[in-house]
Amino acid sequence: MSILQVRDVAYAYPDGLQALYGVNLTVSRGERVALLGPNGAGKTTLALHLNGVLEAGAGSVHVGGLKLNRANLKEIRRRVAIVFQDPDDQLFMPTVREDVAFGPANLGIRGAELEARIHEALAAVGMTEHAHRPPHHLSYGQRRRVAVATVLAMRPQILVMDEPTSNLDPAAKRELADILQGLDLTMLMVTHDMPYALEMCERAVVMNRGMITADGPTREIMADEALMRANRLELPYGFDPSFSR
Amino acid sequence: MSGGHTHGHGLFVHGHSRLHRLAPHCKVAGAIAFVFAVVATPREAFWAYGVYAGLIVALTLSARVPLATLARRLTVETPFLIFAIALPLLARGERIDVAGMSLSIEGLWAAWNILVKATLGTATMMLLVSTTPITSILRGLQRLRVPSVIVAIGGFMIRYADVIASEMRRMKVGRQSRGYEPRVFWQARALASSAGTLFIRSYERGERVHLAMMSRGYEGAMPELTDVEASSTDWMVAFLVPAMAAVVCAGAWL
């Protein structure tokens, strides 16, 4: 059953730069999809369309059967959570706790229910004991995890992450992977990190120049050398996608 | 936020005194009330200012904030005092000769008035921020019904001061690693051009933060997340010293 349907979405930035040329994408409930592609391919732009932060010039987005429009923006934003690339952009409140509370509070949740949401989200990323610290006291990996908690508190249906592993050391990447694996959520992950994409996502979608150029099992896409080269994608040295544990 | 990582504790001096534990909105209200009493006192009542200073010193000692720390922090008011010091030289009216300088009597009174009130006011606020974490002060302000936009701006300033400072440090390292290491005075030029870049970067960050806020359902109003509660004892304790100050002030007018 599809939870996300993107149909013919096209978008040009206000300065005239065309970023998306008719994107079609369907994601089923519980799927984990890697969104691969070179810089400037339109991956982030597409991600920002999924919860209506950017408004498509043409085409439509459906989330859980609900069509994205101004009237149900709030509900769509509850369903689709975006974790941005730089946690300093995502964590803007004075303390971790208040930041996690921000989303659900905007949904009108207060009191004991709000406390429960905060606790649940922080526990899911293992940051409960840091609730009262300001975000700038945390390590980069911890901030990334709190950023995930801030959207989990909204109990979304789809988790969209923009380069979740950027600037993380291998141990922090591992911790984040363990957390994400434990979540029962549909995920869309924009990334340049091929091993991570292979580990986390069974399906990969390749974007290039504002269009989707390939869509299939991650392992097959990564094994297709011609396809990878045509889309400016590369595997790390010595990495063999056919290897499996 | 001077040099290195302040780790955001900023001016807070860790402690567990009664003053530390007082609900933040009571403390903020009390501090403001105290400052009002000081400002309303006639400048001729020297004794009253002595009492105010004594109250502040007593509170500082009871909160176990080192007096030296408080005194050092008072230096922030120095730039504002330069104006006050110039007054006796510039003001008109009756003059008096002191150590060969002709000073205006009215100017001397005005300078004293500014000097004593600014110093006591600054000391009060320094004591407040020394005993209250900055995030609690923000919550206190929210609780006191300060417009949420103002509280939000304060919050963003505190949240991003470190981020912007570290961006500035990176730009400086970038200049230095390309061999630009002028003496202090000439650093000003590079600083001026960096300021422009820094402004653009901060502006872009502001846009990204706004996107992140909208993604989580922000619709123009910050949610109120106040969780600070105060007992009537808290209010009484917080207004004990301001009440004394009010009595002193009234006494000075009689």
Sketch the domain layout of chain A as residue ranges.
2-230
In this structure, is residue B83 part of a structural domain? yes
The Cβ-side half-sphere exposure at A127, using a 13 Å CA radius, reads 34
Among candidates B7, B155, B225 on the partner chain, residue whose Cβ is nearest the Cβ of A137: B7
In this structure, is residue B149 part of a structural domain? no
3-state class (DSSP) for residue A160: strand
In this structure, is residue B180 part of a structural domain? no
Cα–Cα separations (whole angstroms), residue A227 to A216, A220, A232, A243: 12, 10, 9, 19
For helices B232-253 and B46-62, give the axis angle rounded to 10 degrees: 160
B115-124 pLDDT, tens digit each: 999 999 999 9
Q: Using CA atoms of B11, B16, B19, B22 in order, give the dihedral in degrees to the nearest 10.
A: 100
Least confident of A139-143, B94-98, B143-147: B94-98
List the one residue out of B188, B189, B194 whose CA is nearest residue B171.
B194
B178-232 pLDDT, tens digit each: 877 766 666 677 777 788 888 898 999 999 999 999 999 888 777 776 667 788 8
**B223:A82 CB<8 A:** no
Look at residue A195 in the predicted model and tell me its pLDDT: 93
Q: Does residue B13 carry a pLDDT above 90? A: no
Look at residue B222 in the predicted model and tell me its pLDDT: 78
Distance CA A8, CA A57 (A): 10
- Selected for mutation to probe chain A from B204, B216, B225, B227 (highest A CB count within 10 Å) is B216
3-state class (DSSP) for residue A167: coil
Distance CA A40, CA A48 (A): 14
B46-94 pLDDT, tens digit each: 999 999 999 999 999 999 999 999 999 998 888 888 888 888 878 777 7
Q: Does residue A94 carry a pLDDT above 80? A: yes
Sign of CA dihedral A40, A220, A65, A6: positive
List the one residue out of B239, B221, B247, B225 whose CA is nearest residue B59.
B239
> Which amino acid, B112?
W
Look at residue B5 in the predicted model and tell me its pLDDT: 39
The Cβ-side half-sphere exposure at A159, using a 13 Å CA radius, reads 27
The mean pLDDT of chain A is 93
Predicted TM-score (pTM) of this structure: 0.80
Q: Does residue B170 carry a pLDDT above 50? A: yes
Look at residue B8 in the predicted model and tell me its pLDDT: 46
Complex confidence, ipTM: 0.87
Cα–Cα separations (whole angstroms), residue A102 to A24, A159, A207: 32, 17, 33
Q: What total number of domains does chain B contain?
A: 1
**B223:A102 CB<8 A:** yes
Strand ranges (DSSP E) for chain B?
95-98, 101-104
**A94:B208 CB<8 A:** no
What class is the A2-230 domain? Answer: alpha beta
Mean pLDDT, residues B151-176? 86
In this structure, is residue B79 part of a structural domain? yes
In this structure, is residue B121 part of a structural domain? yes
Buried-state track B95-114, b at ≥16 Cβ within 10 A, e below 16: beeeeeeebbeebbbbbbbb
Which residue is listed with tokens 């780790």?
A: B7
Which residue is listed with tokens 């001096």?
A: B13
Q: Cβ contacts (< 8 Å) between B162 and chain A: which residues?
A: 136
In this structure, is residue B90 part of a structural domain? yes
Q: Is B191 exposed, middle or buried (0-12, 13-18, 19+ CB in 10 A)?
A: middle
Residue A64 near residue A27, CB atoms below 8 Å: no
In this structure, is residue B85 part of a structural domain? yes
Taking any CB pair shorter than 8 Å as contact, residues of chain A touching chain B are: 48, 51, 53, 74, 77-78, 81-82, 84, 86, 88-95, 98, 101-103, 105-107, 134-137, 150-151, 154
Task: Grade residue A76 by pLDDT with cuts at 50, 70 and 90.
Answer: very high
Q: Which domain holds residue B239?
A: 18-142+228-253
Strand ranges (DSSP E) for A29-107?
32-36, 58-63, 66-67, 80-83
